[in-house]
Structure 1
Amino acid sequence: MKLVSTKYLLAHAQRHGYAVPAFNIHNLETLQTILDAARELCSPVIIAGTPGTFKHAPISVFAAMVEEYSALHNMPIALHLDHHEDPHDIFSKIGVGVRSVMIDASHLDFEQNIHMVSKVVQFAHAHDVSVEAELGALAGIEDEKSVSDLDAMLTDPAQAAEFVEKTGIDSLAVAIGTAHGTYKATPKLDFERLQKIRASVDIPLVLHGASDVPDELVKEAIKMGVAKVNIATDLKYPFSHAIKEYFVEHPDATDPRHYMVAGMKAMKEVVKHKIHVCGSENKLIIK
C-alpha cells in the first residue's frame, strides 16, 4: 500500500469532529511504537519527520518502512514532512514518494510567506501531494530552529482567508498560544482567535506544539475546528526516561533489543492516550 495524502485524512476528521494525531518519529523504534498503537486502536495516524529526522536516516528508508507496515496491516498511513523550509529539499522528498508536506515560511513577512508557499503548492499539487503552511510563529525549539517568545506571533484572523486563498494550501497551522517543547507554565490558548480563524477559512486547521498542553485545552481546540494535532516532545521523555531506568536496574545490559523495548512500552502508553484525546480511535478508514 502506498503512502497517502493527509488531505483525505483531515477532510474526514473535519467532517466528523475529531483530529488526526501527527506523531514525530526519530528512528525505527519510535515509528514502530506509534504504528502499533494506531493499529491496536484503529486510529488514523500521521507520521511526521523534521529535516533533522531525515538526516538521521534517509527519507527513502523511512518511506519504505512506512509503506511496508501499511501493506502488512492494510493501514493507510501518511508520512509528513514537518517544518521543512527549503522548497528544493521538499521537491526531492516528494520524488521519493512522500505525499504530505509542511512548508514553513512563517519566519518571513506575509507576502514572502505567500510567495514561497505558493511555489511549493504548485509543485506539490501536480503530484497529488497535500500542503500545510503556517501563518504566525510558535515560540520554542523545533528540530534546529528556535523562536524566542518575543519573536513569536499569533495568527491574524484577518489575514487567514487571504493567505489560504492566495496560496491554495490544504491545511493551515495556526499560532494561538502553544509553543514547541515544554512549558514553564500552563499555556493559555486564544480560543476567541481560533474561532475567528475557523469562521474565515474552510480548510482543516492544525495545532502545533500540543505536547505538554492540558488535555481539556486540546479537546476544546478540536471542538472549535482543529483537525490535526502535532505531538513530539511528549513522546521523547517517556521513551528516554524508561531506558535510563532500565539501565539503573540492569547496569550490565548491552542488547538494544531489550532496553529499547522499555522505551517503546512507555512511549506507547502516551501515544494511545493522545489518540484518545484526539478522538481518533476507531476512525481508521480502509479504502
Structure 2
Amino acid sequence: MPLATTGELITAAAAAHRAVAAFNVITLEHVEAVIAGAEAVGTPVVLQVSENAVRFRHGSLLPLARAAAAAAARAAVPVALHLDHVHSDDLLRQAPGAGFSSVMYDAARLPYEENLAATRAAADWAHDQGLWIEAELGEVGGKNGEPPPDPHAPGARTDPGQAAAFVADAGIDALAVAVGSSHAMTTRTAALDHALLERLRAALGVPLVLHGSSGLPDGELIAAVAGGITKINIGTALNVAMTGAIREFLAAHPEAVDSRAYLAVGREAMVQSVARLVTVLMGGGADAPARSSP
C-alpha cells in the first residue's frame, strides 16, 4: 500500500487513546523485521532512520531510505517513514526527497533560547515542505554511549510550564518529553515519573512522544500509553534481540560463514520482538501471535 504519513498515524492513535510504535532501523533486516512484526499483529508502524544510522551508512541517507520505502510499499499494514534525532540542517533538508513524512529535530542539548530558535526555524521550513515535526525538551540521556542523566539534575526532566511555552513558540506538532526513560538501555528496568507525565498531558495540546522505550518493562509501557504518550520510540530492543540470536546461532554453528544463515535468525528474532512489543502497546498483554521461523 502507499506510504502512510506519521501525522495521520499519530492522529488516529490519539483519537483511539493508543500509541504508535516507532522502531529505529539500521539495516534492511531491521526494516523487514519491523514490517513483518507489525503485519503479524495487524497494526500500523513507523520506520525511523536516525542521524546516527545515516552516519553509520557513510553519511548517505538514500540507500536505506529507498529500501525502507520500497518495503513499506509492499506492506499489508500502513507504514510511515520518520527521520529521527536530526541535528544537521543539511540532513533535515534531505527528508522530503527521501520519502520521509516527518522529522524529529533535536536541539535539546542547546540552552533553552537557542533550542527554541533552532526548532522554530526547522518547524517553519518543515511545515513549508508538508512535514510533521517533533522536537524534544528535557534530557533523555543515553545517546552516543553517554550515561543517563541524574533524574534530579536541572533540565533532566521536562517542565510542564516551559514545555507549554516551547510548543506554542516553536510551532511543533509533537514533543518528546523526558520523564525517566533513557536511550540505549539493554535492561528493562527504567521507571517513569507518571505524575509528571500527567501534568505534561494536561499542559500540552500536542501528542507526546517517549524516547528510550527499550528500557521500560511491559507495565511501564502500558502505563505510558494510558498516561498520554502517543508515539513510542524503540530501537535498542531490536538490536538486543538480533545480536543475542546471532550469538547463539554462531556458538552452535562455529563453522558457519554464510551471512544469510545468521542474519535470517537475527531478523526473525527482531520480528518476534516487534510483534510482542506492539501487542503490549495495543493493550493485548505480553503474548504476541506466534510466527514460524524461516
In the alignment, is the contact (CA less than 8 A) between 2:135 and 2:172 conserved in 1?
A: yes
What TM-score does the superposition give when structure 1 sets the normalisation length? 0.91
Deviations 1:189-243 (A, max 9, x none): 1111111110111211001111121111111110111001011111111211111
Would you say how many aligned residue pairs link Structure 1 and Structure 2?
279
What TM-score does the superposition give when structure 2 sets the normalisation length? 0.89
Q: Measure the CA separation in 2 of the matches of 1:174 and 1:186.
A: 19
Distance 1:79 1:229, change over 3 A: same
Q: In the alignment, which residue of structure 2 is the partner of 1:284?
A: none
Q: Measure the CA separation in 2 of the matches of 1:166 and 1:268.
A: 40
Q: CA deviation at 1:183?
A: 6.6
| Amino acid across the alignment from 1:14 | A
Which stretch shifts more, 67-76 or 190-199?
67-76
In the alignment, is the contact (CA less than 8 A) between 1:3 and 1:98 conserved in 2?
A: no
Q: Residue 94 of structure 2 aligns to a residue in which SS?
A: helix
Q: CA deviation at 1:87?
A: 2.0
Deviations 1:114-164 (A, max 9, x none): 111111111111111110000101121x2x373652466100011111111
| Seq. identity, % | 34
Q: Alpha carbon RMSD of aligned pairs, Å?
A: 2.0
In the alignment, is the contact (CA less than 8 A) between 2:95 and 2:103 conserved in 1?
A: no
Task: Return 5+ residue gaps in structure 1 as ranges.
Answer: 282-287
In the alignment, is the contact (CA less than 8 A) between 2:175 and 2:206 conserved in 1?
A: yes
Which stretch shifts more, 29-38 or 60-69?
60-69
Q: Measure the CA separation in 1 of the matches of 2:200 and 2:186.
A: 24
Q: Runs in 1 of length 4+ with deviation above 4 angstroms?
A: none
Structure with bigger RCO (C-alpha 8 Å, 6+ apart): 1
Q: Residue 180 of structure 1 aligns to a residue in which SS?
A: coil
2:258 maps to which of 255, 260, 271: 255
The question of 1:52 aligning with 2:31 is answered no
The question of 1:8 aligning with 2:11 is answered no
Q: Measure the CA separation in 2 of the matches of 1:183 and 1:257.
A: 25
| Amino acid across the alignment from 1:262 | V
In the alignment, is the contact (CA less than 8 A) between 2:10 and 2:20 conserved in 1?
A: yes
Aligned pairs for 1:1-287 (under 5 A) are 3-57=3-57, 58-73=60-75, 75-140=77-142, 142=143, 144=144, 146=146, 148-150=148-150, 153-182=156-185, 186-279=189-282
In the alignment, is the contact (CA less than 8 A) between 1:51 and 1:83 conserved in 2?
A: yes
Q: CA deviation at 1:46?
A: 0.8
